[in-house]
């Protein structure tokens, strides 16, 4: 079965960002630097992260890399990482950690469709959406993308 994994790119803060995400989500974190690889790279890029992978105890996988010098870097944008579920305690803790030191775009609050929903940019500029659904919402499958878009358009 195919697996979809977010892969984040940073200018030179992938190590710091991934260590932060490990502190938020837990799990096993692995790094490979440009210097450890067989790839040709600028000497100043040796300590940059070529590939990082975080596997959380909940089964989520987050990957990242730095952007070597000489390669254009535009920063994160145009996307968000969305995490949803009915584990209110875990999701609320993740929300607090991810939004701390960042920018809250939409406070964690009750949307029209129920549960709790919030959006933030973390301190690394990555956009996160946290959706805490009531257990019956997960069973009813009534979270509608149009409702989400309508609510966001009203903001």
Whether residue 89 is found in the same domain as residue 62: no
How confident is the model at residue 154, as a pLDDT? 59
17 and 57 inside one domain: yes
Residues in the chain: 155
Q: How many domains does the chain have?
A: 2
What pLDDT is stored for residue 26 in this prediction?
98
What residues make up the domain containing 14? Answer: 7-66
The answer to whether 78 and 20 are in contact (CB under 8 A) is no
Same domain as 115, residue 85: yes
Specify if 2 maps to a domain.
no
- What is the reported pLDDT for 144? 54
CA dihedral (128, 104, 116, 145) positive or negative: negative
* 98 shares its domain with 47: no
For residues 121-153, b (16+ Cβ closer than 10 Å) or e, as one string?
Answer: bbbbebbbbbbbbeeebeeeeebeeeebeeeee
Q: Is 125 part of any domain?
A: yes
Q: What is the pLDDT of residue 131?
A: 98
Say what the pLDDT of residue 61 is: 98
In a domain, 1, yes or no: no
> What is the per-residue pLDDT for 153?
60
pTM: 0.85
Q: Within the chain, which residues score under 70 in pLDDT?
A: 136-155
């Amino acid at each position: 079965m195919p697996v979809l994994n977010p892969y984040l790119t940073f200018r030179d803060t992938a190590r710091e960002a991934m260590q932060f995400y490990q502190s938020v989500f837990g799990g096993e974190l692995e790094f490979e630097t440009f210097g450890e690889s067989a790839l040709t790279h600028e000497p100043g890029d040796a300590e940059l992260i070529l590939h990082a992978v975080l596997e959380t105890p909940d089964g989520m996988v987050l990957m990242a890399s730095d952007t070597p010098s000489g390669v254009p870097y535009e920063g994160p944008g145009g996307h968000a990482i969305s995490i949803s579920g009915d584990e209110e305690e875990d999701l609320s803790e993740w929300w607090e950690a991810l939004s701390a030191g960042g920018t809250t775009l939409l406070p964690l609050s009750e949307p029209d469709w129920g549960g709790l929903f919030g959006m933030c940019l973390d301190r690394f500029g990555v956009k996160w959406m946290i959706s805490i659904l009531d257990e019956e919402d997960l069973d009813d499958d009534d979270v509608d993308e149009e409702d989400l878009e309508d609510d966001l358009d009203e903001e």
